[in-house]
Amino acid sequence: MSGVHARLLAADVGLLQRLDREVAWAEAELAEILPRTPARVLTTIPRVAVVRASNYGGAVGDVTRFRNAAQIYRLSGLVPRLYESAGKKRAGTHISREGKVELREAIIDLGKALRQGHPDFARYAAELLSRGKHNGVVRCALGQRANRVAFAMMRDQQPFDPARW
C-alpha cells in the first residue's frame, strides 16, 4: 500500500472512530431524556431501544392531540393516494407521501422491529408475502399495525403486552 493510500485509510478510520463516539454520545443523551417523555413505554416493545422509541416519540410529539392512531398514520403520508378526475374517484396504488418524513420513517422502523421481535407480526408479514404483496406494501402494513400499538401504549402509558397485541 502506498503512503497516500495509508494516510487516506488512517484518516477514514479516524473519522469513523469520531463518528462512533458522537453516536454513542447522542444515544446517551437520548437515554437520559427519554424516561421523562411519554415515549418511554415504547422501550418495552421487543427490539425497540432508546433510538427507535425516541424517533417515534419525537416525530409524533404530544400524543394527546390525536384522537386515534389513524390520524398519526395519515400525518405520516403512508396512506394510499387518491385520484380524482371528472367526478370519478379511484384509490391509488402508491402512498401519498404527503406528511412528515420523520414520522413515516419511524413508523416503518417500528414495524420492522415488531416483525423481528414478535411472532404474530412475523406471521402477518409472511402471510402478506405469500399473497404476493410487495415488500413496500408489507412494510406499510406492518408499520400501520405497529403505529396502532405504539399510539395505544403512549396514550395509556401501558407497557407492551405480547398477549394483547
Amino acid at 113: A
Q: pLDDT tens digits for 136-153?
A: 999 999 999 999 999 999
Q: Which three cell numbers mark 52?
A: 427507535
Structural domain boundaries of the chain?
1-36, 38-156
- CA-closest candidate to residue 155, choices 71, 66, 89: 66
Residue 149, pLDDT score:
97
Q: What's the Cα-to-Cα distance from 159 to each of 43, 93, 110, 149, 162, rounded to whole Å?
A: 8, 35, 15, 10, 10
Q: Residue 36: what pLDDT? A: 95
Q: For 80, phi and psi rounded to 5 degrees?
A: -65, 145
pTM summary value: 0.83
Bridge partners of 85, per DSSP, are: 88
Write the single-letter amino acid at 13. V
Pairing of strands 80-85, 88-95: antiparallel
Phi, psi of 8 (to 5 degrees): -65, -45
Across the chain, mean pLDDT equals 91
Mean pLDDT of 76-89: 69
Diameter of the chain measured on Cα atoms: 69
From CA 165, how far away is CA 108, in angstroms rounded? 17
Residue 121's H or E segment, with its range, is helix 119-130
Average pLDDT over residues 96-112: 89
Averaged pLDDT, 19-48:
96
Q: What is the pLDDT of residue 79?
A: 76
Q: Tell me the one-letter amino acid at 150.
A: A
Beta-bridge partners for 88: 85
User: C-alpha cell of 55?
Assistant: 424517533
Q: What is the rounded distance in angstroms from the CA atom of residue 151 to the CA atom of residue 154?
A: 5
Kindly report which listed range (72-76, 79-83, 119-123) carries the lowest average pLDDT score.
79-83
